[in-house]
Structure 1
Amino acid sequence: MKNTMFKMTMGLGLMALAAQQVNAQTQGQNCAPRAVVLKHLTEKYGEARRGIGLVQQGSVMEVFASDETRTWTIIVTLPNGMTCMVASGEAYETLTEALPASGNDA
Protein backbone atom coordinates (compact mmCIF):
# COMPACT_ATOMS: atom_id res chain seq x y z
CA MET A 1 0.00 0.00 0.00
CA LYS A 2 2.80 2.41 0.90
CA ASN A 3 4.55 1.64 -2.39
CA THR A 4 1.36 2.43 -4.29
CA MET A 5 0.95 5.72 -2.42
CA PHE A 6 4.55 6.69 -3.17
CA LYS A 7 4.06 5.98 -6.86
CA MET A 8 0.84 8.00 -6.87
CA THR A 9 2.61 10.94 -5.21
CA MET A 10 5.43 10.81 -7.75
CA GLY A 11 2.85 10.57 -10.51
CA LEU A 12 1.13 13.73 -9.33
CA GLY A 13 4.41 15.60 -9.46
CA LEU A 14 5.08 14.32 -12.96
CA MET A 15 1.57 15.30 -14.05
CA ALA A 16 2.15 18.85 -12.85
CA LEU A 17 5.37 19.00 -14.86
CA ALA A 18 3.65 17.55 -17.90
CA ALA A 19 0.76 19.99 -17.66
CA GLN A 20 3.15 22.93 -17.69
CA GLN A 21 5.14 21.61 -20.62
CA VAL A 22 2.40 20.34 -22.94
CA ASN A 23 1.59 23.71 -24.51
CA ALA A 24 5.19 24.28 -25.59
CA GLN A 25 5.51 20.74 -26.92
CA THR A 26 2.40 20.81 -29.09
CA GLN A 27 3.95 23.46 -31.29
CA GLY A 28 7.34 21.77 -31.51
CA GLN A 29 8.90 18.81 -33.26
CA ASN A 30 8.39 16.40 -30.35
CA CYS A 31 4.86 15.35 -31.33
CA ALA A 32 3.54 12.53 -33.52
CA PRO A 33 0.51 10.23 -33.70
CA ARG A 34 0.27 8.05 -30.57
CA ALA A 35 0.90 4.76 -32.40
CA VAL A 36 4.14 6.11 -33.87
CA VAL A 37 5.43 7.30 -30.49
CA LEU A 38 4.57 4.02 -28.72
CA LYS A 39 6.25 1.96 -31.44
CA HIS A 40 9.40 4.08 -31.13
CA LEU A 41 9.53 3.79 -27.32
CA THR A 42 9.00 0.03 -27.45
CA GLU A 43 11.29 -0.87 -30.34
CA LYS A 44 14.18 1.55 -29.80
CA TYR A 45 14.30 1.73 -26.00
CA GLY A 46 12.32 -1.31 -24.79
CA GLU A 47 10.19 0.97 -22.63
CA ALA A 48 6.81 -0.03 -21.22
CA ARG A 49 4.17 2.09 -19.52
CA ARG A 50 4.80 2.46 -15.78
CA GLY A 51 2.26 5.13 -14.85
CA ILE A 52 -0.68 7.15 -16.18
CA GLY A 53 -2.69 10.20 -15.13
CA LEU A 54 -4.97 12.96 -16.40
CA VAL A 55 -3.65 16.46 -17.00
CA GLN A 56 -5.17 19.71 -18.26
CA GLN A 57 -8.02 19.81 -20.75
CA GLY A 58 -8.51 16.05 -21.13
CA SER A 59 -4.91 15.16 -21.93
CA VAL A 60 -3.31 11.96 -20.64
CA MET A 61 0.20 11.86 -19.17
CA GLU A 62 2.13 8.57 -19.21
CA VAL A 63 5.50 7.49 -17.88
CA PHE A 64 7.39 4.83 -19.85
CA ALA A 65 10.59 3.17 -18.65
CA SER A 66 12.83 0.17 -19.16
CA ASP A 67 14.71 -1.77 -16.48
CA GLU A 68 17.05 -3.13 -19.15
CA THR A 69 18.06 0.10 -20.92
CA ARG A 70 17.36 2.21 -17.79
CA THR A 71 15.78 4.90 -19.98
CA TRP A 72 12.55 6.74 -19.20
CA THR A 73 10.14 8.99 -21.11
CA ILE A 74 7.18 11.13 -20.12
CA ILE A 75 4.59 11.68 -22.85
CA VAL A 76 1.30 13.56 -23.03
CA THR A 77 -1.46 12.51 -25.42
CA LEU A 78 -3.85 15.29 -26.40
CA PRO A 79 -7.57 14.75 -27.04
CA ASN A 80 -6.90 14.96 -30.80
CA GLY A 81 -4.66 11.86 -30.61
CA MET A 82 -1.32 13.61 -30.98
CA THR A 83 1.31 12.49 -28.48
CA CYS A 84 4.10 14.78 -27.33
CA MET A 85 7.31 13.92 -25.53
CA VAL A 86 7.62 16.09 -22.43
CA ALA A 87 10.84 14.73 -20.93
CA SER A 88 13.21 11.77 -21.19
CA GLY A 89 16.38 10.56 -19.58
CA GLU A 90 18.58 7.76 -18.33
CA ALA A 91 19.39 5.92 -15.08
CA TYR A 92 15.77 4.93 -14.37
CA GLU A 93 15.20 3.05 -11.12
CA THR A 94 12.06 1.66 -9.55
CA LEU A 95 11.84 2.75 -5.91
CA THR A 96 9.97 1.08 -3.09
CA GLU A 97 10.36 3.76 -0.45
CA ALA A 98 7.78 4.16 2.28
CA LEU A 99 5.93 7.44 2.64
CA PRO A 100 6.49 9.41 5.85
CA ALA A 101 3.95 8.88 8.58
CA SER A 102 0.89 11.12 8.37
CA GLY A 103 1.54 14.52 9.92
CA ASN A 104 5.34 14.31 9.62
CA ASP A 105 7.21 16.64 7.30
CA ALA A 106 9.50 14.81 4.88
Structure 2
Amino acid sequence: MSKILNLACAATFLATAATAQSSNCAQHALVVERLASGYGESRQSIGVGSDNTVVEVFASLETGTWTITVTMPGGPTCLVASGEAFQVLAEGLPNMDSGA
Protein backbone atom coordinates (compact mmCIF):
# COMPACT_ATOMS: atom_id res chain seq x y z
CA MET A 1 0.00 0.00 0.00
CA SER A 2 2.85 2.39 0.76
CA LYS A 3 4.20 1.83 -2.77
CA ILE A 4 0.88 3.05 -4.19
CA LEU A 5 0.87 6.05 -1.87
CA ASN A 6 4.48 6.87 -2.78
CA LEU A 7 3.65 6.52 -6.47
CA ALA A 8 0.67 8.85 -6.09
CA CYS A 9 2.82 11.41 -4.26
CA ALA A 10 5.55 11.17 -6.91
CA ALA A 11 2.99 11.47 -9.69
CA THR A 12 1.47 14.55 -8.05
CA PHE A 13 4.92 16.11 -7.72
CA LEU A 14 5.75 15.30 -11.33
CA ALA A 15 2.42 16.71 -12.48
CA THR A 16 3.51 20.16 -11.39
CA ALA A 17 6.53 19.91 -13.67
CA ALA A 18 4.43 18.36 -16.44
CA THR A 19 1.90 21.18 -16.22
CA ALA A 20 4.69 23.66 -16.87
CA GLN A 21 5.45 21.80 -20.09
CA SER A 22 2.15 22.07 -21.92
CA SER A 23 3.27 19.56 -24.57
CA ASN A 24 2.75 16.84 -21.93
CA CYS A 25 -0.80 17.96 -21.12
CA ALA A 26 -4.14 18.03 -22.96
CA GLN A 27 -7.86 17.61 -22.40
CA HIS A 28 -8.63 14.30 -20.66
CA ALA A 29 -10.71 12.91 -23.53
CA LEU A 30 -7.91 13.60 -26.02
CA VAL A 31 -5.28 11.93 -23.82
CA VAL A 32 -7.47 8.84 -23.35
CA GLU A 33 -8.16 8.62 -27.10
CA ARG A 34 -4.48 8.95 -28.03
CA LEU A 35 -3.36 6.36 -25.49
CA ALA A 36 -5.99 3.97 -26.87
CA SER A 37 -5.37 4.57 -30.57
CA GLY A 38 -1.59 4.99 -30.41
CA TYR A 39 -0.65 2.38 -27.82
CA GLY A 40 -3.72 0.22 -27.25
CA GLU A 41 -3.77 1.35 -23.61
CA SER A 42 -6.90 1.49 -21.46
CA ARG A 43 -7.40 2.61 -17.86
CA GLN A 44 -6.32 -0.07 -15.39
CA SER A 45 -6.59 1.88 -12.13
CA ILE A 46 -7.59 5.27 -10.76
CA GLY A 47 -7.14 7.13 -7.49
CA VAL A 48 -7.67 10.57 -5.99
CA GLY A 49 -4.82 12.35 -4.22
CA SER A 50 -5.17 14.41 -1.05
CA ASP A 51 -5.02 17.55 -3.20
CA ASN A 52 -7.90 16.27 -5.39
CA THR A 53 -5.66 15.32 -8.31
CA VAL A 54 -6.82 12.26 -10.22
CA VAL A 55 -4.06 9.71 -10.86
CA GLU A 56 -4.73 7.11 -13.56
CA VAL A 57 -2.72 4.17 -14.85
CA PHE A 58 -3.33 3.18 -18.47
CA ALA A 59 -1.81 0.01 -19.91
CA SER A 60 -1.96 -2.44 -22.77
CA LEU A 61 -2.29 -6.01 -21.55
CA GLU A 62 -1.15 -7.17 -25.00
CA THR A 63 2.06 -5.14 -25.41
CA GLY A 64 2.84 -4.33 -21.76
CA THR A 65 3.19 -0.57 -22.32
CA TRP A 66 1.88 1.68 -19.55
CA THR A 67 1.32 5.39 -18.88
CA ILE A 68 0.58 7.28 -15.66
CA THR A 69 -1.44 10.49 -15.94
CA VAL A 70 -2.41 13.14 -13.41
CA THR A 71 -5.38 15.45 -13.84
CA MET A 72 -5.33 18.59 -11.75
CA PRO A 73 -8.68 19.88 -10.41
CA GLY A 74 -10.30 21.80 -13.25
CA GLY A 75 -7.18 21.41 -15.33
CA PRO A 76 -5.65 19.36 -18.09
CA THR A 77 -4.49 15.75 -17.94
CA CYS A 78 -0.70 15.46 -17.90
CA LEU A 79 1.52 12.51 -18.77
CA VAL A 80 3.96 11.94 -15.90
CA ALA A 81 5.51 8.52 -16.58
CA SER A 82 5.46 5.69 -19.08
CA GLY A 83 7.21 2.41 -19.66
CA GLU A 84 7.02 -1.26 -20.53
CA ALA A 85 6.44 -4.66 -18.90
CA PHE A 86 3.12 -3.83 -17.21
CA GLN A 87 1.71 -6.69 -15.12
CA VAL A 88 -1.59 -7.05 -13.32
CA LEU A 89 -1.10 -8.11 -9.70
CA ALA A 90 -3.63 -9.22 -7.13
CA GLU A 91 -1.47 -9.64 -4.06
CA GLY A 92 -3.00 -10.26 -0.68
CA LEU A 93 -2.02 -8.37 2.43
CA PRO A 94 0.95 -9.78 4.32
CA ASN A 95 0.24 -11.82 7.42
CA MET A 96 0.71 -9.33 10.27
CA ASP A 97 -0.02 -11.91 12.98
CA SER A 98 2.93 -11.96 15.38
CA GLY A 99 2.28 -15.66 16.07
CA ALA A 100 2.80 -16.77 12.46
Deviates more, 1:50-59 or 1:23-32: 50-59
Could you tell me which residue of structure 1 aligns to residue 15 of structure 2?
22
The answer for the alignment partner of 1:63 in structure 2 is 57
SS of the residue 1:57 aligns to: coil
Q: Which runs of 5+ in 2 are unaligned?
A: none
Aligned partner letter, 1:46: G
State the alpha-carbon separation in 1 of the partners of residues 97 and 10 from structure 2: 25
Give, as a single letter, the amino acid of the residue that structure 2 aligns with 1:59. T
Superposition TM-score, scaled by structure 2 size: 0.84
C-alpha RMSD of the superposition: 1.7
TM-score where L is the length of structure 1: 0.80
Identity level (%) = 47
In structure 1, the gaps of 5 or more residues are 1-8
Greater RCO, 1 or 2 (C-alpha within 8 Å, sep 6+): 1
| Counterpart check, 1:94 vs 2:88 | yes
